[in-house]
């Protein structure tokens, strides 16, 4: 399994429009963050988690030619705002792209992309085969995917586990039953917006507590805001088994 961090930033990305802070003015490429997304290469299949407003740019940067499926964590725009650009993969596949998401996300997609589900479709609209998932594991071909519910303040968000890898974003609380589903994970990508408390996102300290409890081999922090600080400085503050993710980071399991 190979994992590519397509985007490691929060909803506004980094740099933030009109911001003059040190992070937004940084010339270090590690401080330039597209909206959060990850690509998993397994058994010659590409699974992509989330398709935000930077989806087109991310597909071009990673030179993605085909996608087996999209897994969506929740309905916020920074996670589904790029779904119109799956049209390119519709052309390659000569058909719809399989999309896996919870019920709330499915409803938001039907609302935001109503033209894709209209009775009389304009030629060239995005084609999606939506599969609604709950707490039950499911298969994409022979790949087992375990959906895990975490909380984004009061909104349920779907984390995903495949074998010994898990991806958790936009969470500020993981229920105990969900923590049990994460036991045994060796590689974890988990969100941490900043060091200061936030209503709906883990702080860096809270994310590190989850990493410590799960005793993972390697963890990567994602969904990072500009308030976190400069990549190079924060990296030096982390335990040996934790790194800040950055765009186009690749690691193998």
Give the chain's mean pLDDT: 98
* Alpha carbon distance 233, 43 (integer Å): 37
CB 224 within 8 A of CB 253: no
Residues 15-56: pLDDT tens digits?
999 999 999 999 999 999 999 999 999 989 999 999 999 999
Exposed e or buried b per residue across 6-37, where buried means at least 16 C-beta atoms within 10 angstroms of its C-beta? bbbbbbebbbbeeeeeebbebeeebbbbbbbb
Q: Both ends of the chain: CA-CA distance in Å? A: 5
**Residue range(s) defining the domain that contains residue 107:** 2-252
CB 14 within 8 A of CB 56: no
Q: What is the mean pLDDT of residues 127-142?
A: 97
Bridge partners, residue 150, by sequence: 157
Q: What is the mean pLDDT of residues 174-187?
A: 98
Dig out the tokens for 68 from the structure.
């087996």
List CB contacts of 114: < 8 A, sequence separation 6 or more. Answer: none
pLDDT value at position 59? 98
Enumerate helices (H) and strands (E) in the chain, giving the number of each. 7, 14
CB 80 within 8 A of CB 109: yes
For residue 230, what is the domain's CATH number?
A: 3.60.15.10
* Alpha carbon distance 21, 60 (integer Å): 29
Q: Where residue 218 falls among pLDDT bands split at 50, 70, 90?
A: very high
Q: Where residue 138 falls among pLDDT bands split at 50, 70, 90?
A: very high
- Total number of domains constituting the chain: 1
Dig out the tokens for 95 from the structure.
């058909």
């Amino acid at each position: 399994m190979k994992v590519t961090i397509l985007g490691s930033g929060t909803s506004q990305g980094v740099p933030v429009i009109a911001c003059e802070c040190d992070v937004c003015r940084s010339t270090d490429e590690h401080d330039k963050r597209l909206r959060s997304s990850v690509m998993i290469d397994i058994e010659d299949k590409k699974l992509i988690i989330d398709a935000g407003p930077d989806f087109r740019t991310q597909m071009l940067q990673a030179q993605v030619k085909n996608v087996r499926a999209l897994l969506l964590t929740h309905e916020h725009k920074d996670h589904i705002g790029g779904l119109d650009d799956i049209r390119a993969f519709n052309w390659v596949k000569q058909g719809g792209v399989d999309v896996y998401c919870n019920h709330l996300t499915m409803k938001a997609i039907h609302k935001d992309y109503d033209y894709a589900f209209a009775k009389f479709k304009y030629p060239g609209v995005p084609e999606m085969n939506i599969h609604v998932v709950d707490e039950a594991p499911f298969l994409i071909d022979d790949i087992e995917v375990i959906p895990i519910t975490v909380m984004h303040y009061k909104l349920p968000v779907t984390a995903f586990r495949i074998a010994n890898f898990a991806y958790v974003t936009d969470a500020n609380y993981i229920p105990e039953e969900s923590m049990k589903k994460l036991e045994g994970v060796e590689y974890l990508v988990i969100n941490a917006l900043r060091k200061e408390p936030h209503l709906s996102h883990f702080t860096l300290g809270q994310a590190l507590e989850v990493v410590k409890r799960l005793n993972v081999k390697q963890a990567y922090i994602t969904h990072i805001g500009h308030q976190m600080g400069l990549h190079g400085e924060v990296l030096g503050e982390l335990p040996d088994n934790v790194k800040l993710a950055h765009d186009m980071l690749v690691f193998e399991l």
